[in-house]
Amino acid sequence: MAAKNNKAGIVIIALAMISAVLFIGFIMSQDSGSHRQTDDNRPKLGGPFALTNHIGQNVTEKDYLGKLQLIYFGYTFCPDVCPTSLSIMASALDLLTPQERKKIYPIFITIDPERDTTEYMKDYIINFGDDFVGLTGTAEQVKDISKYFAVYYKRVEEEGASEYLMDHSSYTYLMDEKGKAITVFRHGIDPKDMVQQLRASLKEMGSG
């Protein structure tokens, strides 16, 4: 009985030692991983595009460099998801000082270019702030930019409904002044959390 217990004790101690070694190894690999990742953990999003803004001008990604860009993809007929996301964006921007806000382009890009003409875009975005930019284009142009941001969208026809709906992903993208992605905000984020990230990125922009 006693000998058996002793053996079990030795096995337990050995297992504990092995797990300790494995655990330390795990922590060390995590640590070196995080050091390596500083620049690589940024999402690879964004790219060149040609679209039309809400006042009918042809624009490209170059027109929005030099400031941070807060980008959301949706459509003006959207009953709830888009207005919610754009309201969060507007609330976050309202929490900034005018000086901070001047360094950010809030951009709404339609995934429903068939209905979202420049006129619709202009009437819609003014609800969220007079610095908001609305971008539309041909079906092909919208498809191109959506690919760069891994945006999903699909037209949904409902029987008996006079207007179709668009099924779409709902993320807000933060890009730096050079057009590189900083982070992606999930749907329904607290505007205060968005502000925290915006201020950190503005600070980085000012120092870099």
Which stretches of the chain bind Ni ion, using CB under 5 A? 74, 78, 81-82
17: its two tokens: 């030692």
The minimum distance between CB 193 and Ni ion, in angstroms, equals: 21
| 112 vs 177 by CB, closer to Ni ion | 112
User: The tokens of 2 are what?
Assistant: 């006693």
Q: What are phi and psi of 137, to 5 degrees?
A: 180, -160
Q: Considering only CA atoms, which of 65, 56, 44, 19 is closest in space to residue 173?
A: 44
Contact 194, 172 (CB under 8 A): yes
Q: Which is nearer to Ni ion, 108 or 177 (CB)?
A: 108
**Which phi and psi (to 5°) does residue 45 adopt?**
-135, 160
Instruction: Give the nearer residue to Ni ion in terms of CB position, either 81 or 205.
Output: 81
**C-beta of 17: minimal distance to Ni ion in Å?**
56
Dihedral sign (CA 56, 132, 194, 100): positive
**What minimum distance in Å lies between the beta carbon of 168 and Ni ion?**
6
Length of the chain: 208
Which tokens go with 21?
Answer: 């070694």
Closest separation in Å from C-beta 131 to Ni ion: 21
Residue nearest to Ni ion (CB): 78
Residue 111 or 202 with smaller CB distance to Ni ion = 111
Decide: helix, strand or coil at residue 75.
coil
Least Å distance between CB 13 and Ni ion?
59
Strands 172-175 vs 165-168: parallel, antiparallel or unpaired: unpaired
Closer by beta carbon to Ni ion, 78 or else 121: 78
